Structure formats: structure tokens, C-alpha cells
């Protein structure tokens, strides 16, 4: 089974790229983040034409997540248990489904903006709600949470740690929240094996960042033991970050033998 995750940074302008990638990479399951539209506006028919079912969750202009699967799409859940709101409003940042016997969650963790911004506290609260939801769902069947976590787990996951002093994505509370997820029995299954010196997944659009590999690894795949032990390969598809009009993220692809 091939499972992937990709922050597409707006599904409508990126749709031709997504459809082409689905045809060529042929994942069985793709977790998508940052749709930037509503559930109803997701281009489901175009995706279904390639043989995929869709579980989308979007509430407006920002956020939005989806799971597309050609191996079944059951027990769909939109949102988290005890999910916090920001400025009195809910945000579409998590969707779960069972696909071909594997339980997956597609997540788009809040950015946090700056450590003294209310969005940062919201980010930490949201990560705790994610932990509560995952803890209630974990079982002996293969399980994984995939997506844009907006946290670099270690200093090695950013191209120059000194540039992030006083910024989000690298603070100890954020990293501690990730560690609490792993403490549930989840393992960081990417990269295995290591194919690049620095396998980043995100590069800012500013000129030179991508070709010079000035990026971050903030897109993650955390799986339980039945999932992690089934992994046979994983990689960042850097080709999807090239060319005209790409997302600022590249897909992560995980191949499993189940």
C-alpha cells in the first residue's frame, strides 16, 4: 500500500498538479492539507474520475483537509474531540478515515504565528486535542497521523536553526507536544531509508530557497507499531515542488507491505 501526504496550499489552483501527481505517483491514499475552500467546493468529481473516493472538510477561505482513497473510505470523522476554537470560530484542520484496513488522520496543525500571539496558545491547545483524539482511537490495527504539523521536531529539521530564534516551529513547548504524541506509541516513520542529507518538506517561495535546499521538515508521518513495521520505503517527492506554480510543500510518500 502507498500512503502519501501533501500540503497543496490551495486545492483549486493546484488541482492540475494534484491530478497529474495522483496518476503518476499512484498512491492508494493521499492526505491533503490547506484546501482553502469549503467541503462543498472541493473538486471531488475530478478526483473521483481517477478512481478515488473523497472525504473533505473545509469551512471557508483558510485551512481545510481531505483524504482521498482508492482502497475504501470508512468511518469518516471530521474534527477533533474537545477541539478548541480560535477567535470564537472552529477551523477545519483534521479528518480521519479507515482506508484499506489502515486508520489515517490528515491534519493541518495551526501555524502559531509568533510565540506571544494568541494563535500560539491555540496551536498548543489544538495539539493536545489531537493527542486526546488519537489516544481514543489507537488499537492493534495499522494507524497513522499524517500532515503539516508546523513543527520541526529537531534542530536538524531546519536549514539554519539560528534564523528561527524567537520564532514558532522550533520552540520547546511545540516540540514537547510532538513528543507527547509519540509517547502514545507513535513513531516518526520518515525518512526510512535516508535518501537526502536534509530531507526537508517545505521551502519558502522566496527566490533561491528551494534550489539551495533552505527548507524545513514540518510535514510528518507518525505511525503505530503495526504501521511502522510495515514501512518498506519513504521519500519526499521533490519533483512535485519544481516547475511553474507549485505548492511550497512537497509530498511525502510511504510504501508499506501489509
Pairing outcome for strands 94-99 and 74-78: antiparallel
The model's pLDDT over 143-156, given as tens digits with 9 standing for 90+, comes to 999 999 999 999 99
| Catalytic position from the list 52, 53, 57, 148 | 148
Side-chain half-sphere exposure of 198, counting CA atoms within 13 A = 20
- pLDDT surpasses 80 at 47: yes
Residue 148 a catalytic site member? yes
Nearest to 95 by CA among 67, 61, 128, 133: 67
Q: What is the four-CA torsion angle of 188, 189, 194, 198, rounded to 10 degrees?
A: -40
The arithmetic mean of pLDDT across residues 241-253, rounded, is 96
Side-chain half-sphere exposure of 139, counting CA atoms within 13 A = 8
- Please identify which residue in the block is written with the cell numbers 494568541: 118
What is the pLDDT at residue 62? 85
The arithmetic mean of pLDDT across residues 45-72, rounded, is 96
Residue 198 a catalytic site member? no
Cell of 208: 533561491
Among 2-6, 61-65, 102-106, 245-249, name the one with the lowest average pLDDT.
61-65
- pLDDT surpasses 60 at 195: no
Q: Which residues have CB under 8 Å from 166's CB, separation 6+?
A: 114, 115
The model's pLDDT over 116-144, given as tens digits with 9 standing for 90+, comes to 999 999 999 999 999 999 999 999 999 99
pTM, rounded to two decimals: 0.96
Domains of the chain, each with CATH number or no CATH: 2-256 (3.60.10.10)
The arithmetic mean of pLDDT across residues 225-237, rounded, is 95
Question: Average per-residue pLDDT in the chain?
Answer: 95
Residue 119 a catalytic site member? no
Cα(230)–Cα(225) distance, rounded to whole angstroms? 8
Residues facing 188 on adjacent strands = 222
Coil, helix or strand for 116?
coil
| Catalytic position from the list 53, 169, 235, 249 | 249
Q: Give backbone dihedrals phi and psi of 152, rounded to 5 degrees, phi first.
A: -90, 115
- pLDDT surpasses 70 at 197: no
| Catalytic position from the list 28, 53, 57, 108 | 108
The arithmetic mean of pLDDT across residues 227-253, rounded, is 95
Amino acid at each position: 500500500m502507498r500512503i502519501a501526504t501533501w500540503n497543496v496550499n490551495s486545492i483549486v489552483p493546484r488541482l492540475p498538479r494534484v491530478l497529474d501527481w495522483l496518476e503518476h505517483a499512484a498512491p492508494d491514499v493521499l492526505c491533503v492539507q490547506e484546501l482553502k475552500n469549503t467541503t462543498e467546493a472541493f473538486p471531488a468529481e475530478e478526483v473521483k474520475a481517477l478512481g478515488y473516493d473523497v472525504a473533505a472538510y473545509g469551512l471557508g477561505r483558510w485551512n481545510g483537509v481531505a483524504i482521498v482513497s482508492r482502497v475504501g473510505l470508512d468511518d469518516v470523522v471530521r474534527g477533533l474531540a474537545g477541539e478548541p476554537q480560535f477567535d470564537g470560530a472552529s477551523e477545519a484542520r483534521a479528518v480521519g478515515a479507515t482506508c484499506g484496513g489502515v486508520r489515517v488522520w490528515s491534519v493541518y496543525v495551526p501555524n502559531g504565528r509568533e510565540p506571544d500571539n494568541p494563535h500560539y496558545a491555540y496551536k498548543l491547545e489544538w495539539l493536545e486535542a489531537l493527542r486526546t483524539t488519537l489516544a481514543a482511537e489507537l488499537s492493534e490495527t495499522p494507524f497513522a497521523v499524517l500532515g503539516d504539523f508546523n513543527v520541526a521536531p529537531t534542530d536538524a529539521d531546519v536549514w539554519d536553526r539560528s534564523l528561527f530564534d524567537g520564532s514558532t516551529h522550533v520552540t520547546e513547548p511545540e516540540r514537547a507536544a510532538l513528543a507527547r504524541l509519540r509517547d502514545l506509541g507513535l513513531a516518526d516513520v520518515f525518512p526510512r531509508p535516508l535518501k537526502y542529507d536534509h530531507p526537508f518538506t517545505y521551502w519558502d517561495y522566496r527566490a533561491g530557497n528551494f534550489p539551495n535546499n533552505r527548507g524545513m521538515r514540518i510535514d510528518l508521518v507518525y505511525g503505530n507499531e503495526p504501521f511502522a513495521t510495515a514501512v518498506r520505503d519513504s521519500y519526499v517527492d521533490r519533483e512535485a515542488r519544481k516547475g511553474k506554480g507549485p505548492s511550497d510543500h512537497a509530498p511525502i510518500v510511504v510504501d508499506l507491505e501489509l
